[in-house]
Amino acid sequence: MRSIRRYLIVTLTLVLAVATLIIIAVIYRVTHHKAEDVLDVQLSLQGRIVASLLAPGTPEQEYARIARHLDQPGHPSRWFGDAASPEAGQASPQASIARRFHTDERMLTLGFWEADGMPWLMGAEWNDAGPFPAPQQQGYRWETYAGERWRVFSLILDDQQRWLSIGLRERFHDDLSRQLAMGNLLPLLIALPALLLLVGLVVHRGLRPLLSLSRQVAGRNERELGRIRLAVPRELRPLRDALNDFMARLEDALARERRFSADAAHELRTPLAALKVHLDNAMAGERDALPRAYASIERLQRVVEQLLTLVRLDQEGEASAERVNLLALTQTLAAEMWPQARARQQLLSIATDDAIWVEGNVTELGMLIRNLLDNALRYSPHGGWVEVSMGDNDGTAWLVVRDSGPGIDETLLASVTERFRRGSNRDVEGSGLGLSIALQVARRQQLTLQLTNASTGGLEAWLRWPQSAVS
C-alpha cells in the first residue's frame, strides 16, 4: 500500500460503484417480476371484458367490425370468416380506422380461433407473419412469434365455439422495468459526485491526526527531543508512545555522547594546557619544568591511546575465541608490569598455582587484565601490594585483582566504569578511561566485571566467566 489516502479513496469509490450497480440490478429484477404480475392481471381482465361483450349468437359480421377496429397502420388485422374470398377478410380501407394514438399500442393485441384451432380473427401484428399460433388451453403462456416473445392470456368464449387470446409483447415488460430502474439510477448518479467528495473529506479528516503527528516528529531535532504530548486517536497511540520511547533513548544516548566529548575534551586539553605552561616555565628558566612537560606528554599519549582503544572496541566485530591459559597470561602481564610496581616499591603477586583454562580472545583478555592490574597499581599507595587470584568453581572460572588502595566510595561504585569517571583521589594520574575499557572488553568477552570494596580496605575487581566458556 503506497498511499493510505489513495487506497481508501479508490477502495471506497469502487465499493460505492459496485453497490450502485447491484442496487440497479436488483431494482430491475424486482420491477420486471412485479410488472409481469400486474400486466398478467391486466391481460386477464381485458380478455374477460372482451369475452363478456361477445355473447353467444353474436353474428359473424360483428367480428369483421372488431377486426376493423383492431387495424393499425401497416399492420392490418384479419377476419377469416368470409371463406368465399380469402382476401375479403381484409378490411376495406374505407372501413378501417387504422390509427395509432400511442406508439405503445403496438405492444398489445388480440386474436380469435375456432374450436379446432383454425384462426378466426387476428388483430394487428399477429397477422404479419401468418396467423399467431393457436392456444391449446386457457390461461397464461409465453409464445414466440416472428422472433419476439409475447405474454399471452387465452380463454374460451361462452358459446364454446371460439378461443380468445390477448397478448402483450415482452419488450413492454422490459421497457417498463428498464425505465423504472433508470429512474432510480439517475438520482444515484447525481448523488455519486457528492458521495465521492464526502469520501474524500472523510478520508482527509481521518488521516489528519497522522499528519499532526508527522509535523510533531518533523519539528524535533537532536536538541529538541521532548515527549510528544499531542492527543492522538487510539490507533496512533502505540506509534506515539513508541516514538516517545525512542526519543527518550536517543536523548539518553546523545547526552552520554555529549558528556563523553566534553570529558574527552577536558582529558585532552588539561594535559595540553599543563604541557604548554611547563614549556613556558622552561623557557623562563624554571629547572623542574622540562621533566614535568615530559610527564604531561606521556599522560597525553596514554589518554590518546585509551581513546583510540575505546573507539576501536566500539567499531570492531567479534574477536576470535581460543583456549586460553589464564594463569600463564596473567603471569606474562604481571612480569611486564613488574617495573611499574617496583618503581613505587609495590608488591605484585599471583596467589594461584594451578592453570585455569577459559575460552576467549587472548588479546582482549590481556587488555582487560592489564587494565585491572594497572588500575590496582595506580591506586595502591607507595609500598603497597596488588594480588591476583583465580579459580574454577563448579565449572565457572573467576579472577580477582585485589589492591591496597583506598577503595571506591560506595556511591561511586556504580558510575566508576563510565567513561572519564574517577574516584575522588585526583592525585593519582589517570584519565578515568581504564575501567571503562575493561568493562567494554569484559562485555565483548561475555564476562561480568564487578567492583567491590574489600572488607579489609582496598578494591576488588572480579571477573567471572559464564559456565560454557570454561574448558
Binding positions for other proteins, rule: CB under 8 A: 262, 265-266, 268-278, 280-281, 284, 286, 288-289, 292, 295-296, 299, 422, 424, 426-427, 429
Least separation in angstroms between residue 374's CB and other proteins is 18
Phi-psi region of 79 (alpha: psi -120 to 50; beta: other; left: phi over 0): beta
Burial of 342 (0-12, 13-18, 19+ CB in 10 A): exposed
What residues contact 436, with CB distance under 8 A and at least 6 apart? Answer: 310, 417, 418, 419, 420, 421
* Amino acid, res. 448: T
Least separation in angstroms between residue 227's CB and other proteins is 22
CA-based angle 97:100:105, to the nearest 5?
120
* Complex with other proteins: residue 99 or 223, whichever CB lies closer: 223
* Complex with other proteins: residue 252 or 288, whichever CB lies closer: 288
* Complex with other proteins: residue 348 or 435, whichever CB lies closer: 435
* Complex with other proteins: residue 49 or 273, whichever CB lies closer: 273
* Complex with other proteins: residue 12 or 268, whichever CB lies closer: 268
Cell of 3: 498511499
- For residues 148-165, one letter each, b for 16 or more C-beta atoms within 10 angstroms of the residue's C-beta and e for the rest, the string is eebbbbbbbbeeeebbbb
SS (H, E, C) the chain: CCCHHHHHHHHHHHHHHHHHHHHHHHHHHHHHHHHHHHHHHHHHHHHHHHHHHCCCCCCHHHHHHHHHHHCECCECCEECCCCCCCCCCECCCCCCCCCCCCHHHHHEEEEEEECCCCEEEECCCCCECECCCCCCCCEEEEEEECCEEEEEEEEECCCCCEEEEEEEEHHHHHHHHHHHHHHHHHHHHHHHHHHHHHHHHHHHHHHHHHHHHHHHHHCCECCECCCCCCCCCHHHHHHHHHHHHHHHHHHHHHHHHHHHHHHHHHHHHHHHHHHHHHHHHHHCCCCCHHHHHHHHHHHHHHHHHHHHHHHHHHHCCCCCCEEEEHHHHHHHHHHHHHHHHHHCCCEEEECCCCCCEEEECHHHHHHHHHHHHHHHHHHCCCCCEEEEEEEEECCEEEEEEEECCCCCCHHHCCCCCCCCCCCCCCCCCCCCCHHHHHHHHHHHCCCEEEEEECCCCCEEEEEECCHHHEC
Least separation in angstroms between residue 256's CB and other proteins is 16
* Complex with other proteins: residue 180 or 412, whichever CB lies closer: 412
Least separation in angstroms between residue 466's CB and other proteins is 36
Least separation in angstroms between residue 294's CB and other proteins is 11
Least separation in angstroms between residue 421's CB and other proteins is 11
Least separation in angstroms between residue 291's CB and other proteins is 11
Least separation in angstroms between residue 278's CB and other proteins is 5
Least separation in angstroms between residue 14's CB and other proteins is 57
First to last CA, the chain: 54
* Complex with other proteins: residue 143 or 418, whichever CB lies closer: 418
Least separation in angstroms between residue 271's CB and other proteins is 7
Least separation in angstroms between residue 380's CB and other proteins is 18
* Complex with other proteins: residue 123 or 434, whichever CB lies closer: 434
Least separation in angstroms between residue 245's CB and other proteins is 27
* Complex with other proteins: residue 204 or 269, whichever CB lies closer: 269
Sign of CA dihedral 427, 428, 431, 435: negative
* Amino acid, res. 239: L
